[in-house]
Amino acid sequence: MPNVAVIGAQWGDEGKGKVVDWLASRADIVVRFQGGHNAGHTLVVGNQTYKLSLLPSGLVRGKLGIIGNGVVVDPWALLAEIARVQSQGLRVPPDMLRVADNAILILPLHGALDRAREAARGDARIGTTGRGIGPAYEDKVGRRAIRACDLAEPETLSAKLDELLLHHNTLLRGLGAETFEKQALLDSLLEIAPKILPYVEPVWERLDAARRDGRRILFEGAQAAMLDVDHGTYPFVTSSNTVAATAASGSGMGPSAVGFVLGIAKAYTTRVGSGPFPSELHDETGRQLGERGHEFGTVTGRPRRCGWFDAAMVRQAVKVGGIQGLALTKLDVLDGLDQLQICTGYTIAGARFAHLPAAPGAQAAALPIYETIDGWRDSTRGARSWADLPAQAIKYVRRIEELVEAPVTLLSTSPERDDTIMVRDPFQG
């Protein structure tokens, strides 16, 4: 019985949370392995809506959640999120949530630097979530980050803060932003330590034991392949590797533990923040997709940019992400459109390209090559079997399968948990 890794195949917000929640009924443990509270995963269960940023989505099903070492954890955001979901009736005691002792902590200075840099970039801004994700990952590879385990060692914390503040205050001052004072930071970390430490452990040991016991692990990706720091539309990306390989290194397991790689894609495309988007629609159809799909960022509330399904981009995500099956979501949002376009490749300065080249100038200049396909009149919303789908909607799905070179293993037809069509159980490999 393999494990399953769920990753985004576009620019995020594909519906990973809904799919992870749905699959979690078949899993024993749900693991977050990268990203941080830049993620926003929405789960709709009956009349409750859960918006999760750091907490693994399996908690809603009462499944053990693990925050792996690859995640950057803002401890204040974590506690606030735990309090929020508890007020919705979920339980998150330390035996339901384990946080890697070697996970990196996001401090207030990371958010301050993120926002100061974005302000300095002006029109060239990336459109980050402003939550300090990039600066925290920089500190990790710069070997000066504070990790969850450091909360248990006040002397270590104190010494690390000296180094961290030397670095950050220099940058903040240069950007004309407010600097941070050591004692206040140390006090607030020491104040929060007893609330966080009960969750902290070497999660790799637990995961190793779970694997040997044959327990099913579901890896929950955040962001998406085209926001991957290596494979995405750099520099308009997030600061972590989002592809499935990271599920192993970001949780402390070997690559064979990752199992079946399920890529999630919307039946159209959206993007939040800046950066190239060849199939973006600036017209009435784009506005309609945004309205019908409720395309507003979960984290920042920003309207998402909308466009046609970009099969060339998803095909690239399939290849670099090792995606073995696709979950196609939000098919219902396309109901009633007369005709649909699918982007199958690009032209750049008159030359044809099957995939987006890496150079930012070329990416910005890429024009979509479209294939037109008829739409469908009948509703797909809430469909739970192929038999409930109009023939033309099935044709659209089949064409996407061909173009992206991966089978559709799940279809989602509304935000609601059970409005899902399973073609093949990812846990069966």
State the residues that interact with ligand GDP by CB under 6 A.
8, 12-18, 40-42, 44, 293-294, 298, 329-330, 332-333, 412-415
Of residues 164, 156, 154, the one with CA closest to residue 190:
154
Residue 244 in contact with ligand IMO, rule: CB under 6 A = no
Contacts to Mg ion from residues 30-49, by CB under 5 A: 40
Which entry of Mg ion, ligand GDP, ligand IMO, none binds 223, CB below 5 to 8 A by partner kind? ligand IMO
Distance, CA of 262 to CA of 412 (rounded, Å) = 14
Distance, CA of 394 to CA of 78 (rounded, Å) = 41
Q: Catalytic pick from 21, 28, 37, 41?
A: 41
Distance, CA of 102 to CA of 263 (rounded, Å) = 27
The percent of the chain in helix, strand and coil, each rounded to the nearest 5, is 40, 20, 40
Q: How far is the CB of 301 from ligand IMO (least distance, A)?
A: 12
Contacts to Mg ion from residues 266-325, by CB under 5 A: 298
Residue 272 in contact with ligand IMO, rule: CB under 6 A = yes
Nearer to ligand GDP, 172 or 393 (CB): 393
Which entry of Mg ion, ligand GDP, ligand IMO, none binds 332, CB below 5 to 8 A by partner kind? ligand GDP
Contacts to ligand IMO from residues 193-232, by CB under 6 A: 222-224, 227
DSSP code at position 82: H
User: Does residue 13 have an active-site annotation?
Assistant: yes
The β-bridge partners of 372 are 341
3-state secondary structure of 283: coil
Sign of the CA dihedral running 322, 328, 334, 336: positive
From 3, 5, 18, 40, residue interacting with ligand IMO (rule: CB under 6 A): 40
Of residues 42, 53, 98, the one with CA closest to residue 293:
42
Residue 128 in contact with ligand IMO, rule: CB under 6 A = yes
Stretch that binds ligand IMO, among 80-88, 128-136, 367-375, 387-395 (CB under 6 A): 128-136
Q: Provide the H-helix boundaries in 197-302.
A: 203-212, 245-249, 284-292
Residue 335: both structure tokens together = 């109901």
- For binding to ligand IMO (CB under 6 A), which residues are involved? 8, 12-13, 38-41, 126-129, 131, 133-134, 222-224, 227, 238-239, 272-273, 298
Indicate which residues carry an active-site annotation. 13, 41
